[in-house]
């Protein structure tokens, strides 16, 4: 079996309430070696794999634009900002609540926080069964480094420009935050990379994907959103 994709259904297929997974990403620079839609690709892959073989889950088309103002020092970035993102998420949640059992935003872009939990908190305050899950691994690096490169190698190695793999700023994210707040990613890294993608492998990426997928499946089964709607 494969994941049931909402965009491929007709309305008459939806004869029983299901949980809808909405991947949320961004369109932003990911260094000289990864595609602009990396975050959306990862979120969509995690959602699809989590829903694989489960007839109670539907995967919606990804929301491919997010809040990426910190990357606007680089060409190709298209950001809708936090205010617009919040409005979109809230309206999607209200719309889905008319027919879906539950809605889960599967977020693949850290820059979309705290807007994703803010929108989910409002929807839950309105009495809607909405939650969110973040595609992240505790040992991952910050941006376009080894973590995301490995995952993209696992998903589709043809989109990774291996000849352009190069390190960026490898300082810990906590040390970079003041610079990022003042001037965005461009102020911290000329090539847009926060980390070192060299040495990333598809095998490593597959392990990271399966870790996130396993977490999402487990948390969907438990369904214990916290006070901000995060699945725990």
Residue 225's pLDDT is: 97
Residue 166's pLDDT is: 97
Residue 139's pLDDT is: 85
What is the rounded distance in angstroms from the CA atom of residue 63 to the CA atom of residue 95?
Answer: 15
- Identify the H or E element spanning 94: helix 81-96
Residue with tokens 């820059």: 111
Q: Are 105 and 133 in contact (CB under 8 A)?
A: yes
Residue 2's pLDDT is: 86
Q: Are 195 and 167 in contact (CB under 8 A)?
A: yes
What is the rounded distance in angstroms from the CA atom of residue 226 to the CA atom of residue 228?
Answer: 5
Residue 176's pLDDT is: 93
Q: Are 33 and 59 in contact (CB under 8 A)?
A: no
Packing angle, helices 146-155 and 202-222, rounded to 10: 90
Residue 1's pLDDT is: 57
Third-level CATH fold of 6-222: Rossmann fold (3.40.50)
For the chain, 232 residues long, the average pLDDT of each consecutive 10-residue run is 91 94 98 98 98 97 97 97 98 98 98 97 98 93 96 98 97 93 96 97 98 98 96 94
């Amino acid at each position: 079996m494969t994941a049931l994709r909402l965009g491929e259904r007709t309305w008459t297929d939806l004869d029983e309430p299901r949980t809808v997974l909405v991947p949320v990403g961004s369109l932003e620079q990911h260094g000289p070696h990864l595609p602009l839609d990396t975050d959306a690709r990862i979120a969509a892959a995690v959602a699809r794999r989590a829903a694989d073989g489960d007839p109670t889950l539907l995967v919606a088309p990804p929301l491919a634009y997010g809040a990426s103002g910190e990357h606007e020092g680089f060409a190709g970035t298209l950001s809708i900002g936090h205010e617009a993102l919040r409005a979109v998420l809230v309206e999607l949640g209200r719309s889905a609540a008319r027919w879906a059992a539950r809605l889960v935003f599967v977020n693949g872009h850290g820059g979309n926080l705290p807007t994703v939990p803010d929108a989910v908190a409002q929807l839950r305050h309105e009495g809607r069964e909405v939650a969110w899950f973040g595609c992240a691994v505790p040992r991952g690096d910050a941006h376009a480094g080894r973590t995301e490169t490995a995952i993209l190698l696992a998903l589709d190695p043809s989109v990774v420009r291996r000849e352009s793999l190069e390190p960026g700023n490898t300082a810990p994210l906590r040390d970079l935050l003041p610079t990022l707040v003042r001037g965005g990613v461009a102020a911290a890294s000329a090539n847009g990379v926060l980390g070192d993608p060299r040495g990333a492998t598809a095998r490593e990426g597959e392990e990271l994907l399966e870790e996130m997928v396993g977490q999402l499946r487990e948390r969907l089964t438990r369904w214990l959103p916290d006070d901000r709607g995060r699945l725990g």
